[in-house]
Amino acid sequence: MISPLLSRSLLLTLEPLTDDDLRGLLRRALTDERGLGGAVTLPEDSEAHLLRIAGGDARRALTALEAGAGSALAKREQEITLQTLEEAVDRAAVKYDRAGDQHYDVASALIKSIRGSDVDAALHYLARMIEAGEDPRFIARRLMISASEDIGLADPTALQTAVAAAQAVALIGFPEARITLSQATIALALAPKSNAAYLAIDAALADVRAGKAGPVPAHLRDSHYKGAQKLGHGQGYQYPHDLPGGIAAQQYAPDAVHGTRYYTPTRHGTEARYADVAERVRARLRGESGGD
């Protein structure tokens, strides 16, 4: 929801129902004529299981009760036994509303578990999304985003893994795609983490949006058209490939942001190597011999 609309809205937080709330709801549904009308009973062990799998969600509790009652009546049983209930809600118990908040809550939990390197929690949330019938392409897209946002140059192969997983998912689909998504999730969760690329582009965007742009330095401007040289475009440009080390000590950024550091690498994983390279190159760009 966009901020202007959000500021004009009344936000209501819906908290999970307590077990007592759900117990009363289930018992009314069992006896009320608008519900099951006393057609079946619910033993204590079955009721406890229903409360456990409902997770504070009334719709989930009623859906599971309806599934269990339907299965019991089909068997001509007068009570919803634990075995009957478990069989009936084997898949329905983990369903979530793919158009609602829980859809995004579970997806968010998956990504945050990957970010936190908890591989087992990540696999749990992945399993919930798969069992709920989530579009595997949606899951794959989230994994690709995480590979760049949360891992980045700490392990550049993470993005390759996520992209390959997305391609494989598109080709094979479920049920086999669950294995591919599992492989990618495990790889991302256990990879070293860095959000440096994410922070770098956001810092650069913030400056651009704040008006810190300025003209491109004259020596970097396009000089491949008639009259460009008269305007001074391209004059004084040093071609890096002609210089030792392939780096020219010249200004690239506009004056407004010259010397600004957007990329602040971590020392995690392979990004430690990028950090060393960045320092050497920056020194060479400043014309310092210590950058050799």
Sorted by where each starts, the structural domains of the chain and their CATH numbers stand as: 19-93 (1.10.8.60), 101-190 (1.20.272.10), 196-291 (1.10.3710.10)
Query: Cα separation of 233 and 238, whole Å?
Result: 13
pLDDT at 90: 67
- Listed as ranges, residues in the chain with pLDDT below 50 are 92-93, 291-292
Beta bridge partners, 149, equal none
**Is the distance from CB of 134 to CB of 98 less than 8 angstroms?**
yes
Task: Please name the residues in contact with 280: beta carbons below 8 A apart, sequence gap of 6 or more.
Answer: 291, 292
Candidates 291, 208, 199; CA nearest to 245 is 291
Candidates 278, 277, 282; CA nearest to 258 is 282
pLDDT at 2: 67
pLDDT at 72: 92
- Rg for the chain, CA atoms, rounded: 29
Q: Name the pTM for this structure.
A: 0.66
pLDDT at 147: 97
pLDDT at 224: 67
Phi and psi angles of residue 79, each rounded to the nearest 5 degrees, phi first: -135, 155
